[in-house]
Structure 1
Amino acid sequence: MADPSTYRPRTGEVPDSPGVYKFRDEQGRVIYVGKAKSLRNRLNNYFQDLLQLHPRTATMVTTAASVEWTVVATEVEALQLEYSWIKEFDPRFNVKYRDDKSYPSLAVTLHEEFPRLLVMRGPKRKGVRYFGPYAHAWAIRETLDLLLRVFPARTCSAGVFKRAEQVGRPCLLGYIEKCSAPCVGKVSAEEHRAIVEDFCDFMAGSTAKFTRRLERQMQEAAAEMAYERAARLRDDIGALTRAMEKSAVVLPDATDADVIAFAEDELEAAVQVFHVRGGRVRGQRGFVVDKVEEVDTGGLVERFVEQFYLDGGNEVPREVLVPALPEDAELVQEILRLARGARAELRVPQRGDKRALLETVARNAAQALALHKTKRASDLTTRGRALQEVQEALGLDEAPLRIECYDVSHHQGEEIVASMVVFEDGLARKSEYRRFAIRGVAGQSDDVASMHEVITRRFRRYLEARESTGEAGVLVEAGAGEELAEQHGAPAAEVPAGIDPETGRPRKFAYAPQLVVVDGGPPQVAAAQRALDELGIDDVAVCGLAKRLEEVWLPDDDAPVILPRTSEGLYLLQRVRDEAHRFAITYHRQRRSKAVRVSALDGVPGLGEARRKALLRHFGSVKRLREATAEEVATLPGFGPVLAAAVVSALHEPGATPAPLAEGDAAEEGADGSGMLHPQPVRSGLPG
């Protein structure tokens, strides 16, 4: 724990002007980024009696080892620079909003020749128009089913569309007139796109013109005594009406706004966003945040606006309605205006329908916070208790704020790989995950030797990083990293050792953990400890977690440490171990799928990788390939009679092994004799 007085700037050194400041820890990592109208006044607030600071602010200043700042001309520049640095450095003490679940949206793939309507989750893609998000996928499908009567656009996948083109028959939706069937030429690409554009206009809020148009067509059909067509148009009007009823009218038709509300306590906050377009609630989203820094509701609003509209790339509406304005409300509103490219207003509704809707959103936020409290993996208090339990169980001097876990994976000694996952403050830090291809002898599945190798390689890189810049946390010599120092507004002698002066980013393997966890029992733990001893590293604790009984093993201990099954510490170690296991198996499968295996066909002259792919793609399975004749093989492009005969002969020789898999395939002949391709089993390299 550092003493803030040891790195406090001297009197008069900090300028009284707008700027952005960064706190760094002993390893040079940025742990907090902030902006200020006056850097001098803001930084003075951090260097006061620790008892007067918020507990999390006190933790931050005692974790930090240095502070630096950059002066800018205006407050807008300060906000933009702060945003870019938070995005670049991901400081652990800054507020970070996490989506509380993946919300679905109704997507229209306008970039395709025949646009498709579908339910889509995840990040937004270029050329796709989105409506929502919605709380439930079934709500989208119900609405879509109603609207397809009026807007019969394509909803099928690319495979179904292509198959219908080949056979010349539409799918079921085409027969029941819920699809215009562009796959078989019932409508042209231009006509289908016009249908899709009408659908987008309706979803965007232009509903009245379509209702009026259908009513006019219905009356014309009735006047012409085309009663069947009039009845269908009447049903279409009913479908549109029911679809509009699913989005209740809450505000005037011209209202285009996002309504944001918070529910918070001392440790966490939940935020809910209702998207109102054309006076109707088109969707909602929820987020949760750990209040690691001392921040009021206005500060939460400012952070949320930055991350949701700038980092998240969400559409900025004309109005953003919030429960409280941030300290720099005009500055935040200017950022919204720049992001939207037009006028955007940030305000607090005082009365009327907008105020009532804000209260409804606030009730949703309160429910979301109560639900989130039940999820212990994201509970800040529970994570702290888990780290404390691990510290006490393993006899550590301090809580292991950084934990690294290692696992080895292979299949019968082939393609041996290892994974390294990192958890900081009880949460996964995926940007620092690493994976290793073990350099041992192929065909030897010595898990202990593999664990020794990966620990040695990882910490040798750590020592090399320290030697290249001096001890971790010690500042580099004057003259080094001058360009980086100029960028960060600091003298050259104050560029941290953990930062690469060429890229400005943390060096790989530059930081040591407080605890190393290995997936396995005493042999693996002993191998990891031996690797650290050989490198002269004595300040990193080691333990192993065995799968069978979930026992925690320490080096040189004959008996394991048994944590209660209800222990939060054991739950944390299990999550770390399972994440390392998942990451290792994923990498192993990637490498294994690309490996070319030795088989009976390897000796066939002229049969390369591309022709092997063609064989497997054409016949579909090894069994069918064995049953093929030389004449059938010769029909493939690139296969003459001589090569085809050689392939068939090689497959039918006594003791011949299966044909090799094409690159990217991970399959073998089905054990049920069906000839279908099934995934091969992959097991972890550790016995548990």
Structure 2
Amino acid sequence: MADPSTYRPKPGEIPETPGVYKFRDEHGRVIYVGKAKNLRQRLGSYFQDVAGLHRRTRSMVTTAASVEWTVVSTEVEALQLEYSWIKEFDPRFNVKYRDDKSYPSLAVTMNEEFPRVQVMRGPRRKGVRYFGPYAHAWAIRDTVDLMLRAFPVRTCSAGVFKRSQQIGRPCLLGYIGKCSAPCVGRISPEDHRELAEDFCEFMAGRTGEYLRRLEAEMQQAAEELEYEKAARLRDDIGALRRAMEKNAVVLTDDTDADLLAVAEDELEAAVQIFHVRGGRVRGQRGWVTDTMEDVTTADLVEHALRQLYGEETGGPDSAVPKEVLVPAIPEMAEPLRDWLAAHRGARVELRVPQRGDKKALMETVQRNADQALVLHKTKRASDLTTRSRALEEITQALELESAPLRIECYDISHLQGDDVVGSMVVFEDGLARKSEYRRFEIKGFTGQDDVRAMHEVISRRFKRYAAERAHASGRELPEPAGESGESGAAPLDEAGRPRRFAYPPQLIVVDGGQPQVAAAVRALAELGIGDVAVCGLAKRLEEVWLPGEDDPVVLPRSSEGLYLLQRIRDEAHRFALAYQRKKRAKSLTAGPLDDVPGLGETRRKALLKHFGSLKRLRAATIDEICEVPGIGRKTAEAVAATLQQQEPAAAAVNTATGEIMD
């Protein structure tokens, strides 16, 4: 635990201007990003008496080892830079909202030649117009089914569309009038796009004008005695009105607004958002977050608005409405309004509703937020309690100084001594961090020597950590051998940040008993690392082995700590086995071209695609091989020489069938 006074800047060094600041831990990781109108005043608040700080703020400043700042010209720039840094560094102490469920949206792919209406989830794509999100996908499909009568826009997948083009017949929707069948040329691309734009205008809430236009066309058709056309328009109007009735009218003045409410307690907060368009609730979504710092309701609102509109780029596809209603106005209200206006391309009102229908609707949103927080805490309670108990049991059983919040587990896999590989899996707070998994290809020896392989894997992994520490102290270490998926020995990436691979765990778990544990301890000792705990989990009796101990630690079979160690060990075994099988499959499928030096998989595929078969490639001249893109004369000569050496074996006669084998 660091003392904040050890890295506190001198008051005269901190400017009194707007800016963004970053706290880093001892390994260089960004753990918190913040902004301020006055950097000196804001940073000074972190370096007061630690006992007087909020407990999460106290945890942050004692975890940090340094602080740095960047001066900007305006508060709007500070807002934008803080948002981009939070997205880039993902600091552990910042508020991070996560969806409390997966919400579908109605999407219109305006970036395609023939726009398609479909249900979409996940991140938003450029050129696609979104409406929602909605609570259920079936609600979207019911609405679209009603609207296709008036707006027969394409809804089929790319495969169905291409198939209909090939056979010259539309799908069922084209025959029953719920698709204009652009696949067979019944409508031009321009007219189909106009139809999709009308669909978007209607979904955006501009319904009155379109319905009045249809009613006028129906009256005109009736006066001209075109009764079939009038009846069809009448049915279209009825379908659209039924679609509109699915969204309850909550505001009578055709308001476009988003309403945001927050429910919070000491540890967590829940946010609910209602999207109102044309006076109707068009969508709803919710988030939950751990409040990892001393934040107010206004701060939570600001974080939620940045996440909600951060990906919007303005223009017709923008989801930022004219008005945003919130329970509290953030401290930097004017910069936030300017930021929202820049994303929308027009002025945005940010205010707290005081009376009338909007206040009543805000109370409804607040009730939803309160219920969402209660539901989330109910669902999470058992899981969080179990993980906390498991880490506490491991701490007591292994006599650790603190709970192992980061655990790394290693396993070795091979097939009777061949294709030896290693794996590293990472669990943080009892949960898998798959983005930080690593795999190792162990070359230079064969045989069933798991102890030697474990020593090499641990050495290669911790040379990065040792290199970082040596760099900090001015010493030099040799470059470590590269592992699969990593390059070089530098512990810093292109942006000057430490690689995640260099972060040390609190506990190392190896799959095995005393020999594997001893190999891991020896590898750490050779690198001068003595502050990482090591244990082994033997499969036979699920015993936990500690360094230098003759007898294992036996945890009860019902222990949550033992169950967590088993999960971590099994995950390492699965990851290692998957990599070993992949390597074995690749070796079994190796072809004649695999023996050509310097010829990779991409150029091998290019050669076979160009000539169509290995037989034709053997018959080709060097000049003909050079015609393949990416193949130089030297490589062509190597290909020809390799194939000529293999030709006697390739032409061997199969005595069982009498056929020539190629």
Q: Which amino acid aligns with 2:555?
A: I
* 2-structure distance, mates of 1:546, 1:110: 58
- Point out which structure has higher relative CO (alpha carbons under 8 A, 6+ apart): 1
Q: Is the contact made by 1:21 and 1:67 (CA closer than 8 Å) also made in structure 2?
A: yes
1:151 aligns with 151
Shift of 1:599: 6.7
- Give yes or no for contact 2:20–2:36 (8 Å, CA) kept in 1: yes
Aligned residues of 1:601 and 1:650 also touching (Cα < 8 A): no
| Larger deviation, residues 287-296 vs 108-117 | 108-117
Aligned residue for 1:541? 533
Bigger shift: 117-126 or 367-376? 367-376
**Secondary structure of 1:92 counterpart:** coil
Q: Partners in 2 of 1:278 and 1:126 — Cα distance?
A: 24
- Match runs of 1:104-115 below 5 Å: 104-115=104-115
- SS class of match (2:331): coil
Report the residue type matching 1:82 in the other structure: E
Matches within 5 A, 1:179-578: 179-223=179-223, 227-310=227-310, 315-376=319-380, 384-407=388-411, 417-426=421-430, 433-440=436-443, 450-470=453-473, 500=492, 503-518=495-510, 525=517, 527-544=519-536, 554-555=546-547, 556=549, 558-559=551-552, 561-562=554-555, 565=558, 567=560, 569=561, 573=565, 576=568
Structure 1 residue 100: deviation in Å? Answer: 2.1
Cα distance in structure 1, aligned partners of 2:575 and 2:586: 17
When the two structures are superposed, what TM-score results if normalisation uses the length of structure 2? 0.79
C-alpha contact (below 8 Å) 1:417/1:435 kept by paired residues: no
Asked if the contact 2:107–2:119 (Cα under 8 Å) also holds between the matched residues in 1, the reply is: yes
| Distance (whole Å) between structure 2 residues aligned to residue 208 and residue 548 of structure 1 | 73
Give the letter aligned to residue 504 of structure 2: A
Query: Quick one: which amino acid aligns to residue 469 of structure 1?
Result: A
Match of 1:58 in 2: 58
Contact 1:337–1:343, Cα closer than 8 Å, also in 2: yes
Relative distance call for 1:335 and 1:285 in structure 2 (3 A) is same
* Contact 2:105/2:121, CA 8 A, preserved across alignment: yes
How far apart in 2 are the matches of 1:608 and 1:69? 51
Counterpart-to-counterpart distance in 2, 1:193 and 1:611 = 42
Residues 423-446 of structure 1, C-alpha deviations (whole Å, 9 max, x = no match): 444555555x14334133698676
**Is the Cα contact below 8 Å between 1:451 and 1:524 reproduced in 2?**
yes
1:650/1:243 CA distance change after superposition, 3 Å: farther
1:669 is aligned to: none
Separation of aligned partners in 2, 1:359 and 1:548: 59
Shift of 1:155: 1.5
1:542 alignment partner, SS class:
strand
Give the aligned residue type for 1:268.
E
Worse overlay, 576-585 or 174-183 = 576-585
Shift of 1:463: 1.6
Once residues 588 and 343 of structure 1 are traced to their aligned partners in structure 2, the CA distance between those partners, rounded to angstroms, is 58
**In structure 1, what is the Cα distance between the partners aligned to 2:124 and 2:585?**
29
CA spacing shift, 1:57–1:192, aligned 2, 3 Å: same
Q: Using the TM superposition, name which of 361-370 and 523-532 deviates more.
A: 523-532
Mapping of residues 662-673 of structure 1, within 5 Å:
none
Unaligned runs of 5+ in 2: 476-489, 596-602, 614-627, 629-647
Contact 1:259 1:274 in 2 (8 A): yes
**1:87-98 alignment runs, 5 A limit:** 87-98=87-98
**Comparing 232-241 with 282-291, which one deviates more in the overlay?**
232-241
Uncovered stretches (5+) of structure 1, i.e. residues with no partner: 473-497, 618-637, 639-645, 661-688
- 1:65-90 residue CA offsets vs partner (Å, 9 max, x unmatched): 23333444433333333333323332
- For 1:516, give the aligned amino acid: I
State percent identity of aligned pairs: 68
Measured against aligned partners, the alpha-carbon deviations of 1:598-629 in whole angstroms (never above 9, x if no partner) come to 479999xxx97568779999xxxxxxxxxxxx
Give the conservation status (yes or no) of the 8 Å contact 2:275–2:281.
yes
Change (3 A) 1:440 1:304: same
User: Given that residues 321 and 348 in structure 1 are in contact (C-alpha distance below 8 angstroms), is that contact kept between their aligned partners in structure 2?
Assistant: yes
Number of residue pairs matched by the alignment: 602
* Aligned partners of 2:258 and 2:274 also within 8 Å: yes
Deviates more, 1:146-155 or 1:83-92: 83-92
Q: Structure 1 pair 306/609, CA: closer, same or farther in 2 (3 Å)?
A: closer
Looking at structure 1, the residues matched to 259 and 370 of structure 2 have their Cα atoms a distance apart, in angstroms, of: 15
User: Distance in 1 between the 2:539 and 2:288 partners?
Assistant: 32
Instruction: Give the whole-Å Cα distance in 2 for the aligned partners of 1:188 and 1:38.
Output: 59
Distance 1:16 1:115 in 2: 52
Distance 2:469 2:228 in 1: 82
Q: CA deviation at 1:295?
A: 0.7
CA contact (8 A) 1:438 1:453 kept: no
Residue-by-residue CA offset, 1:475-526 (whole Å, 9 max, x unaligned)? xxxxxxxxxxxxxxxxxxxxxxx98496232245332111123456666555
Say whether the 8 Å CA contact 1:96–1:289 is kept in structure 2: yes
- State whether residues 466 and 510 of structure 1, in contact with CA within 8 Å, keep that contact through their aligned partners in structure 2: no
Give 3-state SS (helix, strand or coil) of 1:393's partner: helix
Whole-Å separation in 2 of the counterparts to 1:253 and 1:413: 76
Between 415-424 and 207-216, the greater mean CA deviation after superposition:
415-424
Letter in 2 for 1:353: D
**In the alignment, what sits opposite 2:478?**
none
Structure 1 length-normalised TM: 0.76
Structure 2 CA distance for aligned equivalents of residues 311 and 389 of structure 1:
43
- Look up the equivalent residue of 1:260 and give its one-letter code: L
1:171 aligned partner? 171
**What does residue 68 of structure 1 align with?**
68
Report how far residue 296 of structure 1 moved.
0.9
In the alignment, the residues of structure 2 paired with residue 651 and residue 182 of structure 1 have an alpha-carbon distance, to the nearest angstrom, of 56
CA distance in 2, matches of 1:47, 1:613: 66
Shift of 1:533: 4.0
In the TM superposition, residue 290 of structure 1 has moved relative to its aligned partner by 0.7
Moved more, 415-424 or 544-553: 544-553
Query: For the Cα contact (< 8 Å) 1:28–1:499, is it kept in 2?
Result: no
Distance 1:652 1:225 in 2: 83
Alpha-carbon distance, 1:328 to partner: 2.0
Q: Pairwise mapping of residues 112-131 of structure 1 onto structure 2 (< 5 A)?
A: 112-131=112-131
Residues 152 and 502 of structure 1: CA distance in aligned 2, closer, same or farther (over 3 Å): closer
Tell me: CA distance 1:374–1:582, structure 2 relative to 1, closer, same or farther (3 Å). Answer: farther
Shift of 1:369: 1.3
Task: State the 1:343 CA deviation.
Answer: 0.9
Deviation at 1:380, TM superposition (A): 6.6
Give the superposition deviation at 1:143.
1.1
**Per the alignment, do residues 572 and 231 of structure 1 end up closer, same or farther by CA in structure 2, a change over 3 Å counting?**
farther
Amino acid at match of 1:323: P
Distance 1:650 1:368, change over 3 A: farther
8 Å contact kept, 2:154–2:180: yes
Indicate how the Cα distance of structure 1 residues 270 and 601 shifts in structure 2: closer, same or farther if over 3 A, else same: same
* Residues 552 and 616 of structure 1: CA distance in aligned 2, closer, same or farther (over 3 Å): farther
